[in-house]
Structure 1
Amino acid sequence: METPKQRPRILIVDESRLVRTQFIQLIRDHYDFREEVDGEGGWQALVIDPSIQLVISALSMSMPVLDGDGLLARLRSSRLARLRQIPVLMIAGDDEAANARARALGASDFIVGSIGASELLARIDSVLRLAQAQNELRENPERDAQHPDTGLPTRQRVEVQAAQAMSYALRHESPVSILIMGFDRFDALRNEHGEDLVKELHKRFASMLATKVRKEDSLGHYSGSDLAVVSPGTPYPACEAFANRLREAFAVANIAVHGKRLNLSVSVGVANTPVDRLNSASSLLTLAAQRLKTAQEAGGNRVVACSDRSSSRQPAPRLGHAIDLIKAGHESAVIPHLLQLGNEVLPFLELLERELKLGLPLAELRKRTRDREH
């Protein structure tokens, strides 16, 4: 008789019984759990219970023993690799300094106390997948490094590359953008033309992308036919402009089968830090994937990006973004961004161009500004 597979166990550390009960209710149908009231109890549980695969901990606790920061610091400095590498989700508070301290100590991701079940389960799944990928690559760095159809890195590699880019970005306060893109109406395409043709289209799609990403970008598989680009140092307007160029390039590509041109399109989901205020690679990848799904459900052949959000957290346009775009080699994205700044900034831009020779397309900017005013 086959032994049932043991579910992953999650340790919940919080001095509030109400908070612990709340999280237990959200995860109990999917994960085993253990609860502790303070960091010291959490540490002892982790030492003696190797079945624990993830920790959910309060950011700071008023207990006179070990608080959340102390538990995180002790884990990350442990001599046991199992404890040093265990993913930790911190329950974020309103104290930004405390959040930054936990991030520097090595928190895997942050969640809010009012998080819903679906989002929490998605965060846990992403963090556990990333931890598994990192462990497998540490044990066997050459295994499953490339996808057999395209030769691109597998999802495991992409997740690790995204984590490395995010770690660097948090240390140096630089942006990271992630694009996840895929064919629209993929199932219908496969049903109509067959698996072999779809694989060939996938290879062409991957080849086209490989010629367009920068050397410092990472291109690989995400899920099914969806591909991901991890783009360190790219501000959100540049990444959105790049996504639209990829979408447009594929839309006009002349791909034919038996002499008949296929009506193909792709959609792209874009996520960016710091715009999306996420602190982990797994949450950034998940958000980009959700935006891809939103784009496809809205009819496809579109990009859903950070700037599509109506949230009050969306940053106001500023000249720094325009300069970032130029430095990143995305001059074509400068005009729509600068247009948001209004006509009053034109004299300053003209002075900036005379002094620094940035290559700002001032003539076209003046024309578009006039068109908007009329």
Structure 2
Amino acid sequence: MADIATDLPVKPRILIADDSRIVRATLIKHIEGMFDFREACNGEEAWEMLLADRHIKVVITDITMPRLDGYGLLQRIRHSSITRLREIPVVVISGSDEQAERERAIAAGASDLITKGIGTAHLVSRLDVLSTLTTTRQEFRRSLESLVQDVNPEALFALPMQERFNADASALLQSAVQGRRNFVLLSVRLALRRIVAEGACGTPPASVMAAIGQLLRRTIRQTDHVAQTGEAEFMLATGSINFDAAIIFARRICHAIADADIANEASGHLFACCGVASLSERGSATEDISLLRMQEIARRRAELGMAQGFIGAVGEQEEAGAANGMPLAAPAIEHAESGTPDAATLLRWIREGRQEQVRPHLDKLPAELQSLAELVMKRSPS
């Protein structure tokens, strides 16, 4: 009898799309042993592989390729009707590391940009982050809903205490400074917003906090650290991570928590905001940076988001905009990646008074809601 699990990769599977056999071979040499891999020599071939192989976790694509170039492949991925594809991390590989090229790639929906001369350690670290941290929003939401049903609140104490977290995170920060690598600290803040008292917020139940804590611990890498650092706050410390990947991860955590059906209409709906502090914000001036200072920055940004009822990540750019009177708003690429929620989610949001969250999806209603609306419109007047 055939083993039905033989096609499941033990290691994360990477798809490398490049028309140069030499470039593909060089990248494979970097990642062989750490990752499983597939090869494509053009964008069309890569697209067909993505459709057929649901175990691919990250895509590395060249920009210039025959039949379909890298930006064309990226556009298909980000506009796919398949959620798995819309949310897959995509790394653009380029001959240069110019800021303009990076900005164009990120604006097109890339998760990261690397150069063809990247070293093994840096490439493996970035792929490790993308394959581990960028869990899809839907997977995170479903796992959270399941955990809330059966998690034991006492399991929360399996997370490190704040003192242990501070010690581990400080060591990770110092290692990043010495190695000239990035370090990111996330303050994940949660609240229950009650419908009956507009603007009033409460603390999530212990079972919800326990479930979120356990899910965060499962999601991060072994080299990262997480702890509950307040009644409704978690702190997450991660090193050797690209800032854009950290922001994407933070946004998906917050939206997955807000999307999860784990509260009831009487208690209100759960929402989350993540304050992000990054070592890369300070450039080379790292001599006076401390974990305490970064915690202050991350918490200040999380509180800014909570005050505006913002679901998402607040970093340096968002904070600067808010200081100039600009309201916090999710970037366009975030909407493109997230897709349209299912009918049950949209209806629940409406019941909870979250019409502003529903409006961006009205033009792309799920098929079941469209059919219902058409039937109502065709109904003869009584």
For Structure 1 versus Structure 2, the TM-score category normalised by the shorter chain is: 0.3 to 0.5
Please report the TM-score for the alignment, with normalisation by the length of structure 2. Answer: 0.42
Q: Relative contact order (alpha carbons < 8 A, sep ≥ 6): 1 or 2 greater?
A: 2
TM-score (norm 1): 0.43
